[in-house]
């Protein structure tokens, strides 16, 4: 799903690439720093072009991850450019340690290839005299050399074992050969958090972007570890194991006023709507509140009913459905079996199911 805060740049290899609005802050920061150094307008433009060229390399880096993941059975939704780098959004990541190692290594390998190509250009196609170059500012002469150095820096920096950076994922995949993926993730997360604290402290004295990267590592590692815990607990269950048949109902002809009166008395995330006793759709709490604002309390449920939510099959893997609900921000889903409505899957009930199973393992 495309964020309204991002600008779409295209779909190379069918993968949507976008740039987040905060990327403009990086350009603004470069301009401010350059003006403070007293650089000429042409020199400032060269610095901006260098940043743009570097982020092209970052996109290629993320495409390396993405294409490797797709080749190994993964699913990639999009790539987003941020001031601190790029991020590939994968709805399905290859889980085998070998496959994860290949996917994690593919990104830095792309930067190695770029650096090698630039080295060939600089030393064989168009030789340069490095000793005579001025590296105080970026010029047309030192541009390729600086870009080569930047790509090598990306390789080295990404190989730091700070999960969920590439180096941390490589480390996690190596650990997962000898232990469970959950335990390997916990160890990689703990080590990554140490590096995150180091980045934050270093950022206070050297570069503020290190602070952002540090917090990204802290939050990213914690979030992925929680997701792996859910996967570990839910992997052997299907939707049928948690289906809810005791749900709140509304008739399609009920008024929104009646629905609102019942809303405060239920603990579910929404209502099952029926027409002549048969399933007609799901009405979530948010849909009802928005409907009251736009249609008024005298409108009927059928006027705002959202029938676009696709039902889920009883035998579908529970963790896969959980990931889909998180991605699409769904809190309640209709459940069917052999084409017939059987009940609902409520996200709150799923969380409770997880906590109970985790406590009894």
Alpha-carbon gap, residue 57 to 59, rounded angstroms: 5
What is the full DSSP assignment across 112-166?
HHHHHHHHHIIIIIS---GGG---SS--TTTHHHHHHHHHHHHHHHHTS--TTSH
pLDDT value of position 1: 42
- Other C-beta atoms lying within 10 Å of the C-beta of residue 77: 16
Following CA atoms 130, 132, 134, 138 in sequence, which dihedral angle do they give, to the nearest 10 degrees?
-50
pLDDT at position 130 is 72
What distance in Å separates the CA atoms of residue 216 and residue 20, rounded to the nearest whole number?
15
Amino acid 132: pLDDT: 67
Residues 6 or more apart whose CB falls under 8 angstroms from that of 225 comprise 185, 186, 189
**d(Cα 291, Cα 284) in Å, to the nearest integer?**
10
Residues 6+ apart with CB under 8 A from 1: 77, 327, 328
pLDDT at 112: 97
Cβ atoms within 10 Å, residue 27: 14
Please give the average pLDDT of every successive group of 10 residues along the chain, which has 361 residues: 69 88 84 86 89 93 94 88 82 85 95 95 80 75 90 93 92 93 93 93 87 89 90 90 86 87 77 86 86 86 81 91 86 88 89 88 70
What is this structure's pTM?
Answer: 0.79
End-to-end Cα, the chain, rounded Å: 35
> How far lies 63's CA from each of 68, 85, 104, 109, in Å?
8, 13, 11, 11
The class of domain 239-359 in CATH terms is alpha beta
Where does CATH 3.10.580.10 sit in the chain? 239-359
């Amino acid at each position: 799903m495309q964020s309204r805060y991002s600008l779409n740049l295209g779909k190379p290899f069918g993968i949507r690439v976008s740039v987040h609005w905060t990327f403009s802050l990086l350009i603004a920061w470069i301009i401010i720093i350059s003006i403070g150094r007293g650089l000429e307008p042409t020199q400032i433009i060269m610095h901006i072009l260098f940043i743009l060229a570097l982020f092209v390399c970052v996109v290629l880096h993320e495409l390396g991850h993405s294409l490797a993941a797709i080749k190994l059975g993964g699913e990639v939704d999009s790539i987003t450019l941020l001031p601190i780098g790029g991020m590939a959004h994968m709805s399905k990541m290859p889980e085998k340690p070998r496959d994860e190692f290949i996917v994690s290594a593919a990104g830095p390998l792309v930067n190695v290839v770029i650096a090698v190509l630039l080295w060939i250009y600089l030393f064989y196609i168009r030789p340069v005299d490095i000793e005579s170059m001025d590296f105080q500012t970026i010029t047309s002469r030192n541009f390729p050399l600086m870009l080569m150095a930047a790509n090598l820096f990306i390789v080295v920096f990404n190989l730091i074992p700070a999960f969920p950076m590439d180096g941390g994922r490589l480390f996690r995949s190596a650990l997962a050969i000898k232990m469970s993926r959950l335990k390997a993730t916990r160890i990689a997360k703990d080590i990554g958090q140490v590096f995150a604290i180091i980045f934050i402290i270093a950022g206070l004295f050297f570069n503020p972007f290190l602070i952002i990267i540090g917090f990204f590592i802290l939050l990213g590692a914690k979030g992925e570890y929680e997701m792996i815990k859910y996967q570990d607990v839910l992997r052997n269950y299907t939707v049928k194991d948690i289906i809810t048949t005791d749900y709140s109902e509304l008739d399609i002809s009920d008024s929104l006023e009646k629905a609102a009166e019942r809303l405060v008395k239920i603990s579910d995330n929404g209502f099952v709507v029926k027409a002549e006793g048969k399933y007609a759709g799901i009405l979530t709490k948010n849909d009802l509140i928005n409907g009251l604002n736009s249609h008024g309390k005298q409108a009927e449920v059928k006027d705002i009913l959202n029938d676009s939510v696709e039902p889920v099959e009883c035998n579908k893997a529970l963790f896969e459905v959980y990931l889909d609900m998180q991605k699409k921000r769904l809190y309640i889903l209709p459940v069917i079996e052999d084409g017939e409505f059987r009940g609902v899957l409520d996200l709150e009930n799923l969380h409770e199911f997880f906590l109970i199973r985790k406590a009894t393992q």
